[in-house]
Structure 1
Amino acid sequence: MNPTALLMRRLPRRLIPEVRGIRFRFEILPTTWAGRLDVTDRLRQGLSPDAIVHFGVDGSRRTINIETRAVNRATRVKPDASGAHAETALLEPGAERARASTLPVRALHQAAVRSGLPVALSRDAGTYLCNATLWDSIGSGIPSVFVHVPPLPRGRFDTRLSLQQMEKAAILILEEIRRRI
């Protein structure tokens, strides 16, 4: 199972619901190219959030990665959960090549490091849905960032981070964002 779907169910119970008028809203986004546009646009417009923090899983990672940018590229090789492929190789033809994350990535990195877990700043959110979702959120003008986590461990000898460890880092990241808004 995708650990970020589990995080979205667990984090509301672990964070104080509202502090200084700042509340978190947790949603599990569809992992489809169509959902990337339909669902995320509807949420951004309907909620008018002060900030957006996306969490996603990357099977190639073993650390928590805070993405510092999104690139204007989409893989057309890997299908989404519905079997569909990205329509074009560019997310936004004619737009810039990359967009920087608009939340304080270094401060979020330092907050996550306090968890004692391996955390890195990343310049490569990939070319799949995670990157595209971050691209859209940054382009909306709402301060945004994407946090990649590794898959859950498979078996007792797998040294990847546990869900509880990911949750600890996620709480520190979200509390840092709440402190800064």
Structure 2
Amino acid sequence: MKILVTGFDPFGGEKVYSAIDSVNRLPKEIDGASIITLKLPTVFNESVQVLREKMEEIQPDVVLAIGQAGGRFGLTPERVAINQDDAVIPDNKGNQPIDQTIQPDGAPAYFSQLPIKAMVEAIKAEGLPASVSNTAGTYVCNHVMYQLLYLTHTTFPQTKAGFMHIPFTMQQVVNRSNRPAMNIDDIVKGIVAALEAIVAYQDQSDLKVIGGATH
């Protein structure tokens, strides 16, 4: 089993970025699955070109994309990506699409193909906060999640895919008061737990546990 795990490079003026920093620390193998990592540019469209090229090269069984959600307390597997770009800030090459459809022939939304609830429970079992998220935003994270799932529906039917957001690292909140953060070693532990759940549930349905929200 081959799992491709991606992480974005820093954006918005950040010098460090929890996504790629944690992805770079992942082991090469988890429960018999080979872990291949890839840095994605935080750039609309270009990020997906890089991702698609890697998928064509290695033909992964699973892709888990990792992004940073500054302000969240825990690790949050995403349930759904929507067919819309609406960038609150420019990406790393100055692109700022507003109210743009990502794929004209794509579905209005695609749901994660990963066992998101099992992933949450596995992370919690490590003593770390986690929950299902029902919005991946409308920035490059949602763009990549949507494009990734579009690819698995149209070009890579053998691949399952999904996205997970992670919090700031402690280093990133030194000069940010009242912002939640997590030690990078714990973030890595949480990602590993999520990947263990993906391997364990590769041939079975996700857990039937509550993961919804009132708002």
TM-score, scaled relative to structure 1: 0.88
In the TM superposition, residue 19 of structure 1 has moved relative to its aligned partner by 4.7
Question: Does structure 2 retain, via aligned residues, the 8 Å contact 1:76–1:89?
Answer: no
The answer to whether structure 1 residue 74 and structure 2 residue 85 are counterparts is: yes
In the TM superposition, residue 45 of structure 1 has moved relative to its aligned partner by 1.2
Partner of 2:103: 92
Q: Aligned to 1:150, which of 167, 183, 192? A: 167
Aligned counterparts, 1:21-100, within 5 A: 22-86=33-97, 89-100=100-111
Which letter does structure 2 place at the counterpart of 1:37? V
In the TM superposition, residue 2 of structure 1 has moved relative to its aligned partner by 0.5
Aligned CA RMSD, in angstroms, stands at 2.1
Question: Does structure 2 retain, via aligned residues, the 8 Å contact 1:57–1:151?
Answer: yes
Q: Which runs of 5+ in 2 are unaligned?
A: 1-15, 153-158, 203-215
Q: Aligned to 1:160, which of 178, 181, 201? A: 181
Partner Cα distance (2:37, 2:201) in 1: 19
Partner of 1:127: 138
Count of aligned positions: 177
TM-score, scaled relative to structure 2: 0.75
Q: Aligned to 2:23, which of 1, 5, 8? A: 8
The answer to whether structure 1 residue 175 and structure 2 residue 196 are counterparts is: yes
Which of structures 1 and 2 has the larger relative contact order (alpha carbons within 8 angstroms, sep 6+)? 1
- Report Cα offsets for 1:67-112 as digits up to 9, x if no partner: 0110111114421011122376111124322110001111111111
Q: Which runs of 5+ in 1 are unaligned?
A: none
Partner Cα distance (1:134, 1:18) in 2: 23
In the TM superposition, residue 170 of structure 1 has moved relative to its aligned partner by 0.7
Which letter does structure 1 place at the counterpart of 2:133? S
Q: Which runs of 4+ in 1 moved over 6 A?
A: none
Identity %: 24
CA change 1:6–1:130 in 2 (3 A) is same
In the TM superposition, residue 34 of structure 1 has moved relative to its aligned partner by 3.4
- More helix, by proportion: 1
